[in-house]
Amino acid sequence: GDSVTQMEGPVTLSEEAFLTINCTYTATGYPSLFWYVQYPGEGLQLLLKATKADDKGSNKGFEATYRKETTSFHLEKGSVQVSDSAVYFCVYSSASKIIFGSGTRLSIRP
Amino acid sequence: KAGVTQTPRYLIKTRGQQVTLSCSPISGHRSVSWYQQTPGQGLQFLFEYFSETQRNKGNFPGRFSGRQFSNSRSEMNVSTLELGDSALYLCASSLAMGDRRGNEQFFGPGTRLTVL
């Protein structure tokens, strides 16, 4: 069946480090893919999305490319900041279901 | 534009009781989805309502039910509460226009339910 597998956390990095959070999926159709973020004490909010293969979503310095050949949607940022500390969710959305990854807690040290 | 609001924000119940949670979507949004978030199971989809009809349903027992009103407000009901129902219940709304797969969901702050 359809599923989303995301990198286990927690992930701790120093400020200005390069970030990758891996996300892979299995799909029976052509889903859209999202990254949502949950900052401490706040609700979930959309970070970026891609609706078809080879699309690249980007926002706030974060990027992710929808790779159909590797069924992946890895989240990357070239230089993280303390304010990026949050929980990140990879999300798969099809016409009939939406599946959240388990979430990756990211902590950035000053 | 006001965001998604959920009431109450916190709730304490005992086993066997029932509870009703409320969600008011962003004005103009016709789709409302409900999720359960727990440390052990993560975020799990409960159901989605669109134009007062349940459109999709997750893998939860029949004790979990919901409905949507003509103004798009939605309620979720859990009957015969169990300890394992303690969780943060999140509501999300979306425009649900066009290709639904690409719709952004806007989340409320959640209702934290504790079952004793």
Q: Which of B5, B43, B45, B90 to mutate to test the interface with A (most CBs of A within 10 A)?
A: B43
pLDDT at B100: 63
Q: Using a CB-CB distance cutoff of 8 angstroms, which residues of chain B are in contact with residue A49?
A: 102, 104
Smallest Cα distance from A16 to chain B, Å: 29
Cα A90 to Cα A33: distance, rounded to the nearest angstrom: 7
pLDDT at B97: 59
Contacts with A14 (C-beta within 8 Å, 6 or more apart), sequence order: A108, A109
Residues A30, B101: C-beta atoms closer than 8 Å: yes
CB count, 10 Å around CB of B92? 26
pLDDT at A29: 80
Per-residue pLDDT of chain B (116 residues; tens, 9 = 90+): 679 999 999 999 999 999 999 999 999 999 999 999 998 888 999 999 998 999 888 899 999 999 999 999 999 999 999 999 999 999 999 986 555 667 888 999 999 999 99
Smallest Cα distance from B52 to chain A, Å: 17
pLDDT along chain A (110 residues), means of 10: 89 97 90 93 91 94 96 97 96 85 95
Which of B42, B45, B108 is opposite residue A98, by nearest beta carbon? B45
pLDDT at B66: 97
Q: Using a CB-CB distance cutoff of 8 angstroms, which residues of chain A are in contact with residue B93?
A: none
Which of A32, A89, A95 is opposite residue B43, by nearest beta carbon? A89
Residue pairs spanning A and B at CB distance below 8 A: 55
Residue B12's beta-bridge partner residues? B114
Q: Nearest chain B Cα to A37, which residue?
A: B107
